[in-house]
Amino acid sequence: MSDHVAELIALAFAEDLAGGVDITSIATIPAGQKSIAQFVNRRAGVIAGIPIAIEVLRYVGITDFSSVVNDGQYVLPGTVILEARGDIRKLLLAERTALNFLTHLSGIATLTKSWVDAVTGTHCLIRDTRKTTPGWRKLEKAAVRAGGGTNHRFALSDAALIKDNHIVAAGGVLAAFELVRQSYPSAEIEVEVDTLDQLREVLVAKPDLILLDNMSPSLCRKAVEIVNHEVKLEASGGITLESAREYATSGVDYLAIGALTHSAPALDIGLDLTWEK
């Protein structure tokens, strides 16, 4: 387990207990009573976050567990995805935190699969953005991969993405590109354009990628013709699940979908106890 994940889990329990104890479980459950806990999928979807849920169980002292499915697996309702045995107080202490990770990350994976399915048969890839929950970026981007998507940059230092405000500040799209290239000659550079004229202007600089911002599918198609495979193209802004295929068939290489991480509904997963005699 990475130090970062360990910190997230510790923070979750610090919030849950606030320096105290689980007064409900201590009052109602005899010390040492054991049970089997099953994490059960209530709705069909792609599972993500199993390794994190297991680390949550370990954190509270549960060491007897088995993963029934793996991250990236599509499961039907009623599927037992993870089973654990041990002290009931510990199992219930872990329940909410483990489910918070599982439901959120599985929701991202499930939504991502919907987008990936929408563009099946094209060469276009679905990829995420930096619109992630603070502290959860690596986990959320892993969930995107579990759903069949691909990742954009993880951090601002990974690559350059020249957007409209950078262009204004630098005095033009080519000026912004040259400033980045001079300062960071080995960095990958992506440039955002709003019009086909901007596209033509920046194309001569041969950036690694051009982002077509809020362009219609028909404009994306014209952009593909202009670029003629010289540079990869990414469409972003105003794309819906219903219009995804039309954008994908325009010939762009990527669809950048912020909703994968910032708007994914949680996948309904619950924990059921089976009492041991």
Per DSSP, the residues of 40-68 read EESS-EE---HHHHHHHHHHTT--EEEES
The pLDDT of residue 45 is 98
The pLDDT of residue 2 is 86
The pLDDT of residue 173 is 87
Tokens of 228: 């003629």
Each residue of 188-234: pLDDT tens digit? 999 999 999 999 999 999 999 999 999 999 999 999 999 999 999 99
- Say yes or no to pLDDT of 31 above 70: yes
In CATH, the architecture of 116-262 is Alpha-Beta Barrel (3.20)
Mean pLDDT of the chain: 95
Each residue of 47-104: pLDDT tens digit? 999 999 999 999 999 999 999 899 999 999 999 999 999 999 999 999 999 999 999 9
Tokens of 270: 């619950």
- The percent of residues above 90 in pLDDT, for the chain, comes to 93
Query: What is the pLDDT averaged over residues 124-148?
Result: 97
Active site residues: 96, 131, 163, 192, 213
The pLDDT of residue 234 is 98
Please state whether the predicted TM-score (pTM) of the whole model is above 0.85: yes
Give the CA distances from residue 227 to residues 7, 207, 274, in Å, rounded to whole numbers and listed in that order. Answer: 45, 11, 61
1 — pLDDT class (breaks 50, 70, 90): low
Parse the chain into domains and list their residue ranges: 3-108+265-275, 116-262
Q: First vs last Cα of the chain: how many Å apart? A: 34
Q: Which CATH superfamily is domain 3-108+265-275 in?
A: Quinolinate phosphoribosyl transferase, N-terminal domain (3.90.1170.20)
- Say yes or no to pLDDT of 274 above 90: no
Neighbours of 25 (CB within 10 A): 16
- Say yes or no to pLDDT of 277 above 60: no
Q: Tokens 């892993």, residue?
A: 142
Query: What is the pLDDT averaged over residues 2-16?
Result: 94
- Say yes or no to pLDDT of 271 above 90: yes
4, 61, 104, 106 alpha-carbon torsion, rounded to 10°: 100
